[in-house]
Structure 1
Amino acid sequence: MSKFEFAPMPNSEGYFGEYGGQIIPPELKQAMDDISLAYEEIRQTQAFQDELMQLFQDYVGRPSPVYHAKRLSDQIGGAQIYLKREDLNHTGAHKINHCLGEALLAKHMGKKKVIAETGAGQHGVALATACALVGIPCEIHMGQVDIEKEHPNVTKMKILGCKLVAVTQGTATLKDAVDSAFVAYLENPTDYIYAIGSVVGPHPFPAMVRDFQSIIGREAREQFQTKFNQLPDVITACVGGGSNAIGLFTAFLEDEDVKIVGVEPAGEGLDTHRHSATLTLGSPGAIHGFKCYVLQDENGEPLPVHSIASGLDYPGVGPQHSYLKDIERVQYQSVTDQECLDAFMTLSQVEGIIPALESAHAVAWAMRQAREMAPEQRILVNLSGRGDKDADYVADKLGL
């Protein structure tokens, strides 16, 4: 029996403790409730489960392997570092896990268009891929800053046939892309579906995206038990909205001997305004239709945020992460842009694995933590994506 006692995650109204829910206009509530009902119906059917599992195996390439980063571990000293290789999935990241589920749900509901936001472009590429597979038009909203920074993913989205909408208002990054996508969705919520790209937004999306992503943790738990007959001592993942992290964490929440750590972007420093450390420095508030920790001003307006990783620069965070922080089941720590860059280059040159800048945050924290642990202990990092999209940006930044 675990020492941890959890409230429903979520309850019938979509709350994880005090976080989550549906803070939305009346005209949107019916649409969200319809999605929730359709999801609860379809997820119970064997046909849906079989189709999704077949796609995971034959299309995505699951299960993704757990890899011992031995040279990295030897170089650092201390604990052994293992990587859950979500970067090897089709489209190069964990995002395909929930995008396939959302696309199948849209098809089941008879929707005529799928709308979404993207930051680093991984969600956009994965959703465009899934929509091409099931034959539904796809529209992706992306901040102009991120379009310029993540050009390889922009090209892929266009090749895959999606309509790309450049967002220039505000800071022209992820939050503004979410705002823009919501406006487009509200034009016709009956015929459109908003396929949210993380465990954020109004109910049912935080739970639904988590459910699709939870295959990461289920696989990793079984892989570790098969290989070592025990679980990792520590598991960790980067946290922006938090989908890859909750995907890994869910299977281990009741294992009290497993330390769980989410890694946020400290950007240019927690003592500056140039970070996205929502759980570290934020406070409870509301954003994009749900309650969570938010980096906000005295009027409750979201603050501008920064991260070298486009997929992490979001002023809110998943409601389940907010709840897990409050009950102290998960610790949330942070890594600076410079630490992230150092980990990016180290993993690339020591193991021949180029990680996404998002994932490099978790790698950086694991490298820091490993030195404080014994050589027989093990850290499992969710390597949520590959760094193809970031290679040119990093090369320019470092003058390579």
Structure 2
Amino acid sequence: MDIVCNNISFQLPHKLSITRTPFTFTTTKSRTGPYCSLQKYSTSSPIMRKPLINSLLPKTDHDHREYWKLNPGKFGRFGGKFVPETLITCLSLLEAEFNFVLQDTKFQEELSTALRDYVGRETPLYFAERLTDHYRNEKGEGPEIYLKREDLNHVGAHKINNAIGQAMIAKRMGRKSIVAATGAGQHGVATAAACAKLALDCTVFMGTADMEKQSSKVLLMKLLGAQVKAVDGCFKEASSEAIRNWVGNLEKSYYLTGTVVGPHPCPIMVREFQSIIGKETRKQAMEKWGGKPDVLLACVGSGSNALGLFHEFINDEDVRLIGVEAAGFGLDSGKHAATLAKGEVGVYHGAMSYLLQDEEGQILGTHSVGVG
């Protein structure tokens, strides 16, 4: 679920991001206030645009088209397509197909029907009345808190929004076999459900540690007809193995990513299919209180739910976007999953992004009480 706040009366700072200002990590006493209840550890790492990067980013529809002609899949210095030559043709074909279906009326109608009748959209924007009351101060002031109930989608999460869209593209391209990697299991379940609907073979790679924690998800994937393959490690290792499997059979298989990482056009596709979350939120906010939210709050793991909510509001300067990462035992402990707060720029899985790395540039493992 994503959190939407309205009727907040304090000044909201600018919120978009390309490069980070130094983060702060402080120990505080628990306290309550009109708008928050701080836990033991409080961390802040705002991400701001550099003026040079800001001047390069598209500001109008015309600028947007020209920017993407010169920089396909690039967001300033991030994104891109850092892959072996053997994958360039495959990714270019996928990009062309994706660009075509964006403008294809028939595909969009079929997708809308699937999202409505199979996925169960639109999902409610639920007013959390008791949670709202809990955070009011002694004067009765505080935010009105709403929950975007993506958990009410078919198979229980937002992942199906993207899985059904990409599976439909795969079928259009003549691919019969879908390959995916999953951590918490939700993307694997969503991919299996999409493949079951479209009569596609489905293979899901999953780390052994995650399989133990999420045995019910493994069972559900199998019930939906997917083959689940165990990989030593967690999501990072499962993703690498899924990509290796896909590269070995490019002509017949399709790698269905559920995260906004990887080579272009994979992140753009995930963003486009998940953006329905934010589009519905804007529409529902207008219906419920006649305006926009003041604050949008989402957890940031793989990033697809956060970007799905945020993308619609990126150009709204008066809407604050807050992403929350897992700090684990603390940002200086080495046991956390705060890639944006503590990561360094690098290339992994075909794209430039923030990564947790050691001094030699090797990718570090993450820690979280969650799976994946």
Q: Give me the whole-angstrom Cα distance separating, in 2, the residues matched to 1:117 and 1:40.
A: 24
Match of 1:355 in 2: none
1:136 aligns with 2:136: no
**Residue in structure 2 matched with residue 11 of structure 1 by the alignment:** 68
1:190 to 239, 251, 254: 251
Tell me the alpha carbon deviations over residues 82-138 of structure 1, each in whole angstroms, 9 at most, x when there is no partner. 100000000100000000001000100000211010010000000000001001101
1:46 corresponds to 2:94:
no
Q: Distance in 2 between matches of 1:49 and 1:301?
A: 42
Instruction: Give the CA deviation at 1:11.
Output: 2.6
Secondary structure of 1:310's counterpart equals coil
Residue 120 of structure 1 corresponds to which residue in structure 2? 184
Whether 1:215 aligns to 2:279 is no
Q: Which residue in 1 is equivalent to 2:290?
A: 229
- Which structure 2 residues correspond to residues 88-99 of structure 1 after superposition, within 5 A? 88-99=152-163
- 4-13 or 224-233: bigger deviation: 4-13
Partner in structure 2 of residue 150 of structure 1: 214
Cα distance, 1:298 vs. partner? 1.7
Give structure 1 stretches of 5+ with no counterpart. 312-400
1:145 counterpart SS class: helix
Secondary structure of the corresponding residue to residue 228 of structure 2: strand
Return the match for 2:301 from 227, 231, 240: 240
**Does 2:324 align with 1:263?**
yes
Q: Distance in 2 between matches of 1:120 and 1:53?
A: 27
Q: Does 1:290 align with 2:351?
A: yes
- How far apart are 1:43 and its partner, in Å? 2.1
Q: Give the letter for the 1:158 counterpart.
A: K
CA distance in 2, matches of 1:64, 1:3: 26
Cα offsets for 1:18-71 (capped at 9, x unmatched): 111111111111111111111111221111000000111111111100011111
Displacement of 1:240: 1.4
SS across alignment from 1:43: helix
For residues 139-178 of structure 1, the aligned pairs below 5 Å read: 139-168=203-232, 172-178=233-239
Offset at residue 3 of structure 1 (A): 11
Superposed displacement of residue 76, structure 1: 2.8
RMSD: 1.6
Cα distance in 2 for partners of 1:55, 1:144 equals 32
Structure 1 Cα separation of the partners of residues 220 and 167 of structure 2? 18
Given candidates 4, 26, 35, the residue that maps to 2:85 is 26
1:337 is matched with which residue? none
Secondary structure of the residue that 1:275 maps to in structure 2? coil
1:317 aligned residue: none
Q: Which has the larger radius of gyration?
A: 2
Structure-1-length-normalised TM-score: 0.75
Are 2:371 and 1:310 equivalent residues in the alignment? yes
Q: Letter of the aligned partner of 2:108 in structure 1?
A: Q
Do the aligned partners of 2:15 and 2:321 also contact (CA within 8 Å) in 1? no
Return the offset for 1:303. 0.7
When structure 1 is superposed on structure 2, of 12-21 and 286-295 the one drifting more is 12-21
Match of 1:86 in 2: 150
- Equivalent position to 2:132, from 73, 85, 90: 73
Letter in 2 for 1:197: G
**Where in structure 2 are there 5+ consecutive unaligned residues?**
1-13, 17-53, 59-63, 137-141
TM-fit CA distance, 1:79: 1.7
Q: How many residues align?
A: 307
Aligned to 2:174: 110
In 1: Cα distance, 2:252 partner to 2:103 partner: 24
Mean alpha-carbon deviation: is it higher for 264-273 or for 74-83?
A: 74-83
Q: Quick one: higher RCO (CA 8 Å, sep 6+), 1 or 2?
A: 1
Task: Give 1:346's aligned residue.
Answer: none
- Provide TM-score, normalisation by structure 2: 0.80
1:249 maps onto 2:310 in alignment: yes
Q: What amino acid is aligned across from residue 58 of structure 1 in structure 2? A: D
**Structure 2 match to 1:63:** 122
Displacement of 1:16: 0.9
Give the direction of change, closer, same or farther, for the CA distance of 1:3–1:142 in structure 2 (3 Å limit): closer
Say whether the 8 Å CA contact 2:15–2:320 is kept in structure 1. no
SS in 2 for 1:266: coil
The structure whose residues are more often helix, as a share, is 1
Q: 2:262 aligns with which of 201, 205, 208?
A: 201
